[in-house]
Structure 1
């Protein structure tokens, strides 16, 4: 027989899946999940029988995430530079973080979701990702059913304005990414530009706490030149660049001495690299482990070179 505590623990991936998509933050999502989990436990410890635990967990998590997003949005309105989500490693050791991947988990899509208000975001996700009907959604967000339909209509319109292309072709994309990373390592502007979409965008998120561009860069040549420039700047720094996966897509973890400096996330659409996001804000990297001080590293100038094959650019 499954104990109540085990059944509740099995709901953590569902709760995290909702909270992370709502907030774009691993740490904030974990706080919401923990709060929701405690509320579930309080009900069961008091002897209450929760007949539909998943539905109850979804309702509590969504409402808490709406409240958390309302608070977070006040900070994001005065955020320095571009706001990008916290990277979620595909190989995360926490079982609660191993959630089903789809386009709404990509960093590019999470960035577009920032266009939506808290209730709009909840309605959109509950409908699009979790395939809930409008009566159920209305009960969760405490709105009327017609009101939720109107909210969904507005949300889809806003999303359509910036929705990233998402046409998966694993073999084609793998070949493209090999070309992209090889050109990046070589600092080859022309080769890089050939891997980029005509409307490619590069975002950097330092949050005012790490050196990063304040405005996005647009266009293949401009982005390629910027990336090549980062390669040249990083050649004298003892940094390591490791291929990895985050949010279901290709990424690079840039580190020094085992401490993360940034995570470069790459979104492919229609056979070209369409969006690149560089997460450098140390507050958004702490869930990955030790975080390096990029400002201090760059201030030290050009320290001794690391062993061959490990020197790569700070991005």
Structure 2
């Protein structure tokens, strides 16, 4: 993985391959942490460590492997700290939304089910090393020998860790529809029906086990508990649209975490929230709404949703 400067294996990393390595590093860090801000910090820290290694005379013969190792180890440490904070999180915890329809190289990721909001929530049930082993093997396709070196475990131990993680994931793995165009069309139909107050159409679009989860983190008015069932979710969402219209919010269809989503703005074009739709079998099964302002700062200027909703009619 590494060699001494002057070796025929030596290839400078920090300048020539910075842009090439960043998407891989961000993809690992974001899937590990579910936080855009923390993932960006880890990527920056990893590059600084790689640069320092080169200054110290260490030549890197496999930049991808070196970057993956540093990024994963930093993410494991960060996740251990984050899990302590999340135990005391106010309300439901959801990952920070990643707008995957925006062409932003620094945050470009391969969009599959493992980037979806529901799957990132499920990954929270794994211990940090379990999460790393699962992602490195199942998502990024690393061999057990490589993973063992990254997480500093034996190959046999990594196999056991992966088996345990896969059992935990299999029990609650969310359904996922791969046809992104169909997902977007279904979400559009749902928004149209909700604007029209068409309960019959909404009931057909929502799965019987549909759930609406909100994340305000104690910093914005959000649900204390998820809302479940097609009738309850439909009525709740129609109510949200009426409130939005009353105070002049603007709703923009986007793609977030590889799923159809809505980005909500204030009348002054401040970001207020992102809502993602989880689609499978031709119906909406999950709706995840992030309105915690601390989780939206990477999307631009954030507005005060509570103050906006408290305005008199």
Calculate the TM-score normalised by the size of structure 2: 0.92
Distance, in Å, in 2 between the alignment partners of 1:267 and 1:171 is: 13
Q: Does 1:262 align with 2:256?
A: no
| Conservation of the 8 A alpha-carbon contact between 2:244 and 2:250 | no
Partner of 1:217: 227
Shift of 1:93: 5.1
27, 45, 55: which one aligns with 1:17: 27
What secondary structure is seen at the aligned counterpart in 2 of 1:86? coil
Counting matched residue pairs gives 302
Measure how far apart 1:171 and its partner are: 4.9
Q: Distance in 1 between matches of 2:13 and 2:161?
A: 39
Name which of 41, 62, 71 aligns with 1:52: 62
Q: Distance in 1 between matches of 2:40 and 2:112?
A: 20
How far 1:184 sits from its partner (Å)?
A: 2.2
Correspondence 1:118 to 2:128 = yes
d(CA) in 2 for partners of 1:269 and 1:250? 12
Q: Tell me if the contact between 1:187 and 1:232 (Cα under 8 Å) persists in the aligned partners.
A: no
2:277 aligned with 1:277: no
Match of 1:185 among 192, 195, 200: 195
- Within the alignment, does 1:144 sit opposite 2:159 as a pair? no
Describe the SS at the equivalent of 1:17: helix
Contact 2:209/2:230 (<8 A) preserved: yes
Spell out the pairing of 1:159-308 with structure 2 (5 A cutoff).
159-256=169-266, 257-302=268-313
Contact 2:222 2:291 in 1 (8 A): yes
Instruction: State whether residues 8 and 53 of structure 1, in contact with CA within 8 Å, keep that contact through their aligned partners in structure 2.
Output: no
Alignment partners' CA distance in 2, 1:4 and 1:121:
28
The superposition leaves residues 159-216 of structure 1 with CA deviations (integer Å, 9 ceiling, x where unpaired) of 1222111132345434322311211222333322211112111110000100111211
Map of 1:127 onto structure 2: 137
CA RMSD of aligned residues (A): 1.6
Instruction: Note the alpha carbon deviations across 1:81-125, whole angstroms, 9 max, x for none.
Output: 111111111244531211211110111111111111111110110
Please state whether the residue corresponding to 1:10 is helix, strand or coil: helix
Q: Does the C-alpha gap of structure 1 residues 70 and 183 become closer, same or farther in structure 2, counting only changes over 3 Å?
A: same
- How far apart, CA to CA, are the structure 1 residues paired with 2:309 and 2:180? 37
Following the alignment from structure 2 to structure 1, what is the Cα–Cα distance between the partners of residues 89 and 303?
21
